[in-house]
A = this chain, B = another copy of it.
Amino acid sequence: MQKKMEVGVLGATGMVGQQFAHQLRDHPWFDLTWLGASERSAGKPYAEATNWVQDSEMPEGLGERIVSEAKPDGNAPKLVFSAMDASVAGEIEQAFARAGHIVVSNSKNHRMDPDVPLLIPEINAAHLGLIETQRKNRGWSGAIVTNPNCSTITMTMGLAPLKPFGLKKVLAATMQAMSGAGYPGLPSMDIVANVIPHIGGEEDKVETESQKILGTFSDGAIEHLPAAVSAHCNRVQVIDGHLVCLSIELEEKVGVERLIEAMEAWRGKPQELDLPTAPKQPVHVRPEENRPQTRRDVMAEAGMAVSVGRVRECPLLDYKFVVLGHNTIRGAAGAAVLNAELMKVEGYLD
């Protein structure tokens, strides 16, 4: 057995940092040995520096590990995942990339930078070509690669198999889980037995990130998909799982059957390469009239597959359906880990 590659997490003590720790537990290629956090946490054992709020136990051995300051001082591993809050991620990620690190980030700061890949490996593995542009532009030896916002990933995984039919219009209404708001996040009095029809900044992310993700890499740049996307984002009282209602218009009216076939048959690089956390089938299509349901279906393929259901005609646009994804796994830490797996196979981590 080959020795595992050491990796780090920037922002390790926050909620997303904990999700990275959870997601990297027993990873066959990566070994989480470096935990970066703010100056206040540095020097403390992780168990003391973090308020572990996951529903699973802290991975063995991690609690005793001493937290480092999130600075590129030569002690961090080459590959660092970023789970930092947006208020600090922008500059620190750049500092690490400048110092030669590969930063695989879940933070929003650089997602829409024209020379930063916004990667979903099943959809746009070719966008990794932007790294060359990025290094040229910025004079870095390292790089920043991002994954999209949680609800955007879920929605776009459901749309990507239909791209060959010409995606023209997308109207999305999301019902998003509490865990997407982090910790302490939403006060309980705000969300119990309630719906909040607003998530700050989220609609804009869904509308713009999706166009970049579904865009085409050519000549060292991304040409965004010129589809019109409109989103209504809502917070509901579920623990994990974002469910999205979609109405779409296509250039080719291929019929419900072919949409379903296209979704079920859809595979990408992670499946070809059999990456460790890749789902076997990225999009599951449920035949029941009342599925997918958030609590029941969110863990499809360990939370790395999305589930589609109710594919049918739309009286207004062409078709409508729902898609469900796990917001902290496929939509955050698991997405970044899959990105890093692809990058390892493609030689970006050497």
Contacts and interface: CB of A to CB of B under 8 A. Distances in A.
**What class of interface size applies to chain A in its complex with B?**
35 or more
A55 B299 contact: yes
A236 interface: yes
Given A229-B315, A315-B230, A245 B197 contact: yes
Contacts of A247: 171, 230, 232
Contacts of A245: 173, 197, 232, 234
A86 interface: no
Given A175-B234, A175-B236, A193 B299 contact: no
Given A55-B295, A230-B320, A243 B187 contact: no
Interface stretch (A5-13, A93-101, A285-293): A285-293
A183 B189 contact: yes
Interface in A194-251: 194-198, 207, 228-230, 232, 234, 236-239, 241, 243, 245, 247
Contacts of A78: none
Contact of A188 (B169, B175, B187): B187
Contacts of A289: 198
A279 to B, nearest CB: 14
Contacts of A315: 207, 228-230
Identical chains in the assembly? 4
Contacts of A295: 55, 192-194
A195 B243 contact: yes
Interface in A126-140: none
A10 B311 CA distance: 37
Contacts of A273: none
Contacts of A53: 189-190
Interface in A165-190: 169-171, 173, 175, 178-179, 181, 183-190
Interface of A: 53-56, 169-171, 173, 175, 178-179, 181, 183-198, 207, 228-230, 232, 234, 236-239, 241, 243, 245, 247, 289-296, 299, 309-310, 314-317, 320, 322
